[in-house]
Amino acid sequence: MAVLDALVAIENGRAADRVLKAAFDRRKWLPPARSRIARLTLGVCRHRAQLDWWLEQAGCRSAPLARLAAALVLIEGLDKGQLRKHLPHLPTPETHAAQFLMDHTLDHPDQPAAVRSNLPSWLMPHLKARFGDRLLAEATALCGEAGLDMRANAIKGGRDAAMAALAEDGIIALPTPYSPVGLRVEGRPAIARSRAWREGLVEVQDEASQLAALILGAKPGERVLDFCAGAGGKTLAIAAAMANKGRLIATDSDERRLTEAVTRLRRADVHNVTRHVIGAEGDKWLSRQKGAFDRVLVDAPCTGTGTFRRNPDAKWRSSAEELAHLTALQAKLLDRAAALVKPGGRLVYATCSILAAEDEDQIDAFLARHAGFRIVPLADAWAAVGSEVPEPGAGPHLLLTPARHETDGFFAAVLERLP
């Protein structure tokens, strides 16, 4: 069964999105079958803590096959006969566990908070410190499913043109509440088959990620650096804000990911981007760029806690040790990027994390190390976004969460180098 094969691969440490893509590339299933395979696979990842809790109550060892059987009963609501059709050769322990679970639902009052939230236990104190009384609502939203957001490409006509092109293919898209170039799509249509996608009028990108790129405030003619560009999602958004004018450099330590950006740049008709692979600490190119940029974006590697809706398998690979490693790396990247900002220029630090250790704490520590920078309050920085609505929330930083804003969890701080 395709779902079981995917769950075994995920259990062995592979990312769910890559596992599913490889499976769909091998087998040409029709879209309804693909959708069901993906939904069930990610559903097991999404609710793994509760599934494991119930399997323990049933006296069954947690493993991919047992979790799948439990999910079919507790999430899909299958009865004994339906379960046998889906899993005809289910071993005896898993069969007994499934029969036990047929008298229950996924939720139970005896489940600990981490189990009810389907989050790893080590993460709960961090989320409690962040959200306080809103912990349950935010944790529940993190366990939900994300919608589909897109960014309209201003280089090729903007949001109205994108909406019209999508409508030609029967895809209903509505403006997002905060991003002036964002679109939210109903359902899960085949975006890649649409004319809007093929012609580069749209790019799939969560609204929060769009805002992190827009708040940089890059203008046509400036010299801008996307310091941790990856596959180029925010690079594309910045290039559109610059109207293809000026110089935008995308750097990353992963050459493979930077190469992936090439196709996206061509489809979007972006011409002002050059790519550079960053090497070790002593990268000579970086040493020659001190004080050279008007704007620098550091979209730092992070735990990805804000994207657990999209990547539910990632929460089970996260750990306190990983957090410690990443916070040290984030501080190092910020220090390296700071030297590249010209006097009066701006540095934006962003993460798709909702943990203070990766967000506000990093900014406070950075300002303590770098007296030549100041924080730009969100109310002032928001003008660069070009949105008709007020900034989402008070405070000096941009902090978005699924429960409050219906976006991925995201953090961004705007820093300005003093003259």
Return the structure tokens found at 89.
Answer: 């050769």
97 close to 60: Cβ distance less than 8 angstroms = yes
Pick from 97, 340, 95, 389: nearest CA to 227: 340
d(CA 51, CA 271): 49
CA distances from 102 to 72, 97, 111 (A): 10, 9, 18
Which residues, including other chains, have CB under 8 Å from residue 280's CB and lie 6 or more apart? none
The response to whether 252 counts as a known ligand-binding position is: yes
The response to whether 361 counts as a known ligand-binding position is: no
Pick from 137, 191, 181: nearest CA to 161: 181
Return the structure tokens found at 311.
Answer: 């990547």
d(CA 277, CA 228): 10
Measured CA angle at 298 (ends 297, 303), to 5 deg: 140
Instruction: Please pick, among 45, 60, 143, 352, the residue that the annotation labels catalytic.
Output: 352
d(CA 412, CA 377): 11
228 is catalytic: no
Q: Are strands 223-226 and 247-252 parallel, antiparallel or unpaired?
A: parallel
d(CA 407, CA 148): 10
Query: Which backbone phi and psi does 315 adopt, to 5 degrees?
Result: -65, -25
Spell out a b/e string for 68-100, using b for 16 or more CB atoms within 10 Å of the CB, else e.
Answer: bbbbbbbbeebeeeebeeebeebeebbbebbeb
d(CA 293, CA 282): 19
Pick from 197, 235, 204: nearest CA to 17: 204
Q: Where do we find the tokens 């322990």?
A: 93
What single string gives the DSSP state of each residue in 244-308? T-SEEEEEES-HHHHHHHHHHHHHTT--SEEEEE--STT-HHHHTTTT-EEEEEEE-----GGGT
d(CA 249, CA 258): 11
| Active site residue ranges | 352
- Known binding-site residues for S-adenosyl-L-methionine equal 252, 299
